[in-house]
Amino acid sequence: MTLREWRDRRKRIVAWTILFLLPIVAGGCSKWSGGGPSLPSAVKEPASAYDKRLKKKIGVVPFRMESIFGDSMLKDFFQDNLLQAIQEKCTDILFIKPGGGDFPEGLVNLPLLASGAVDNFSLAMTGRPFGLNAVLVGKITSINVDEKIKGFWFLRSSHYYVQVEALIELYDTATATKIFDQTLSHKIEVEEPDVELIRAQNRIEPYFIEPSLAEIIDDVKDNLCKAIERQAWKSYIVAVDAADILMAAGSRSNVQAGDIFEVYDSRQSIEGYGGHRYLPPGPKVGEIEVKTVSEDTARAVSVSGSGFKEGQGLRLKK
């Protein structure tokens, strides 16, 4: 590497570090859930009309339950009903869910850093070979009983509530940045005998929790759908040989023979805040044309450029 190349590389690293730290500095006391700051709006890649035909794949990491009061089945209720609500709102999304034959084994358990934060880089690199545009992470963070005193003077009385809090995050596979991060909570009022039973059993029955989860889903579905729609469609090269190029999207994503895709090199990572790693957008290195299409893959040949490699990003040409 020449001195000039080294200086250019250092400038790029410094620029990206500033961009990633900017939301933290500007965000003040905003809650950061540990997956890294969002990609600044100045360098986002918004979806355009030309790629609306293509369906985006969203991988879903099995939702987690972190409260000792919640039945483990509630996380499945939360996950299944949230995905159904999003699909009713955004019909052009393919959710790759746990239990399916096309689900990445590396996402069965959420990858974490030594600090306990989500390993955003591993999420991205695991999702790329499966053609995932993004990875959805969710958890029920707390379920508890809250007591509030209401009224005036001798009319004051205790009111009891079961409160539920949940966190939803969405990670982009192209950059490994977080493109959606929202903590939501809801509560319902319960009677004092219900509270006594909860305390005696050290357990909160699902029928006290499911209505709040339904409200949380209703509150978040539109914004989550919009976050997915705003992202540009993308896929990745999964294999290259002398004859053709294999890409991780096919007929289920509405890829068609004759489609021309631009190829971008986005495999070099940089380290950011908290030990997280990110993938800055790389330069365009060529174009490929699709010749044959299968359900989840397609084979293409070079139109321009050469030396294509596994992991390079693909975008439909305008």
State both tokens at 38. Answer: 């969002």
Q: Mean pLDDT throughout 179-184? A: 96
- Both 79 and 171 in a single domain? yes
CATH number at residue 275: 2.40.10.410
CATH number at residue 201: 3.40.50.10610
- pLDDT digit string (tens) for 100-112? 778 999 999 999 9
pLDDT of residue 98: 84
pLDDT of residue 61: 96
Per DSSP (E only), the strands in the chain are 56-60, 64-65, 93-96, 134-150, 157-172, 178-190, 235-240, 245-247, 260-264, 270-271, 277-278, 284-293, 298-304, 313-316
Given 184, 207, 230, the domain boundary residue is: 230
- pLDDT digit string (tens) for 21-77? 433 333 332 344 444 555 443 344 555 555 788 999 999 999 999 998 878 899 999
pLDDT of residue 243: 78
pTM of this prediction exceeds 0.85: no
Of residues 145 and 154, more confidence is placed in: 145
- Both 215 and 239 in a single domain? no
Query: What's the CA gap between 123 and 119, in Å, rounded?
Result: 6
| Secondary structure (DSSP) of 80-135 | HHHHHHHHHH-TTEEEE-TTSTTS-GGGSS--B-TTSSB-HHHHHHHHGGGT-SEE
Whether 281 maps to a domain, the answer reads: yes
Task: Look at residues 212, 112, 217 and name the one whose alpha carbon lies nearest to residue 168.
Answer: 217
pLDDT of residue 34: 45
Q: How many domains does the chain have?
A: 2
- What is the C-alpha end-to-end distance of the chain, expressed in Å? 35
- Both 292 and 184 in a single domain? no
- Both 225 and 256 in a single domain? no
Checking if the pLDDT of 136 tops 80, the result is yes
The band of 273, judged by pLDDT with boundaries at 50, 70 and 90, is confident
Quickly tell me which residue has 């500095």 as its tokens: 25
Whether 305 maps to a domain, the answer reads: yes
- Both 271 and 159 in a single domain? no
How many residues comprise the chain? Answer: 318
Whether 273 maps to a domain, the answer reads: yes
- Both 222 and 92 in a single domain? yes
pLDDT of residue 31: 42
Average pLDDT, the chain: 84
- Which domain, by its residues, includes 107? 40-230
Whether 27 maps to a domain, the answer reads: no
